[in-house]
Each structure stands twice: as C-alpha cells, then as structure tokens.
Amino acid sequence: MTRWNVIRKETVDRIGSFLALNYPDVILNSRYWWRLALKRVVDFVGSTLLIVAFAPVMLLIAAAIKLTSRGPVFYTQERVGRSGDLFNMFKFRSMVHDAEAATGPVWARHSAEDPRVTPVGRFLRVTHLDELPQLINVWKGEMSLVGPRPERPCFVDQLNKEIPGYGYRLYVKPGMTGLAQVYYRYDRTLADVKRKLRFDVLYIKRMCLMLDVRILAATFLVMVTGKGVGLR
C-alpha cells in the first residue's frame, strides 16, 4: 500500500465518523442519498448541455491559446476526488509551457501576481473560462458542477497534517465551483484554507438542488464581474 493510499484510508474513515457524529440528521437520513443520486443526474444532463452550448466558445479559446503561446491547448493535472480517488482534471492552459519545471508545485495565485500567466491566460482566469474543460470531468462522473474544489495530492497530504478535519471535504465529489469559491478569495495562507474548509463542510451539510442553483448563479456573476459576491 502506497503512502497516499494509507492517508486516503485514514481520511475516509474520519470523514464518516465526523459527519455521522456532527450531522446525523443529514448523513443518516435516506433523503441525503437521494440528493446524491439527483445531483449525479443533474451533473450529467447539465454538463452535456453546457458542453454543446459552450463548444463555439471553447473552440475560440483553443485557437487563441495556440496562436499566442507555445505549448498544448489543454493542461491536465492530477487531483484528489471523492474518498481520495485520484483523477486528471482538465483546464485550458493559462500559463507558459512547463511553468512549474523550475519551481515545482506551488499554490495558485491571482493572475495579476503570477508572472507565469500568459496574456490570454490572464483573461481566462479572471473570467474563469479556463475551467470550462472540467465539464468533461463532470460528464465522466469524476467531478460535480458544484462542490469543494479539488486539490493536488501533494497539497492534500500537507494540509491534512496541518489542518484538522481537512479531509472531510472529500466526502462528496469535487466541483467546478463551490460555496467557498463564490464567497472567498484565492488561498494565500493556512488561515484562508481553514476559512474555506468551513464553507465546504457547510455545503456538505446543506447540499441540495436549490443551493446548487444559487451557487451556479453566483458563479455566473463572478465570471461576468471578475469579483466574488461575498466576504473578502
């Protein structure tokens, strides 16, 4: 068993114990599992429709990336999914090719502060259009339209040691957008990660179709304005 698998098993065991203890009215309620089933149906139908609707936009973005910088159009990165399962998450490439070759894995920063981001990539990040290829991950069942954002294994390993309860967010599938993303900023410090974790656990507790609709609407507002809709 690899080191990651050991961490994953311990994390999953704690997830079930924590949620059952703190939110028994939700987790032990059969209606919660119906919410998960309904959520998957909505994710599949929604991602299919959105892929078709955004196909022309994605083609234009792909052409802009290819014509203005060297490297592939898409960027894939290993992320941690539900129950610790690993998957490859898709994005439009917003940085120069091999951006982490010299630095290794680093936390994402605001595009205005990151010299590795290309001019086209800066626009894609501000509008969050670089996330559109993750509709494929949603369609495949690796992600959801709404949920905690997926993180890289190396950072989950680190944060799981430094922040008690960080693994609880792995109880549900990660999302393209989430409560923490529309109400908070980029992670800059451990304090930011802890604050976002509260939003993630709150989402897991209250997850329902109407909440997802509200988060998706708020996300659209963020894409249009380039600003969050809540706390700073």
The answer to whether residue 115 is domain-embedded is yes
Q: Can you read off the two tokens belonging to residue 39?
A: 């959520």
Q: Which pTM does this prediction carry?
A: 0.80
Q: What is the separation, in whole angstroms, between the first and last Cα of the chain? A: 41
Three-state DSSP at 208 gives: coil
Helix (H) or strand (E) holding 24, with range, is: helix 24-27
Kindly give the confidence (pLDDT) of every residue in the chain, 232 residues in length, as a single tens digit, with 9 standing for 90 and above: 344 444 444 544 454 455 545 554 555 455 667 888 899 999 999 999 999 999 999 999 999 999 998 889 999 999 999 888 899 999 999 888 666 655 555 555 555 556 788 889 899 988 889 999 999 999 999 999 999 999 999 888 888 888 887 888 888 899 999 988 887 766 677 888 888 888 888 888 888 889 999 999 988 887 777 665 543 3
The answer to whether residue 51 is domain-embedded is yes
Which residue carries 């592939």 as its tokens? 72
**Beta bridge mates, 146:** 177
42 Rama class: left (phi>0) / alpha (psi -120 to 50) / beta: alpha
The answer to whether residue 174 is domain-embedded is yes
Range of the domain at 212: 3-225
The answer to whether residue 231 is domain-embedded is no
* CA separation for the pair 111, 123 (Å, rounded): 9
Dihedral over Cα of 23, 29, 31, 34: its sign? positive
Number of separate domains in the chain: 1
* CA separation for the pair 111, 114 (Å, rounded): 5
Per-residue DSSP letters for 98-162? TTTTTT-S-----GGG-TTB-HHHHHHHHHTGGGTTHHHHHHHTSSEEESSPP--HHHHHHHHHH
The answer to whether residue 166 is domain-embedded is yes
Please choose, from the candidates 209, 148, 215, 206, the residue with its C-alpha nearest in 3D space to the C-alpha of residue 175.
Answer: 148
The answer to whether residue 134 is domain-embedded is yes
The CA-atom distances, in angstroms, between 95 and each of 45, 72, 108 are 31, 11, 11
The answer to whether residue 44 is domain-embedded is yes
The answer to whether residue 54 is domain-embedded is yes
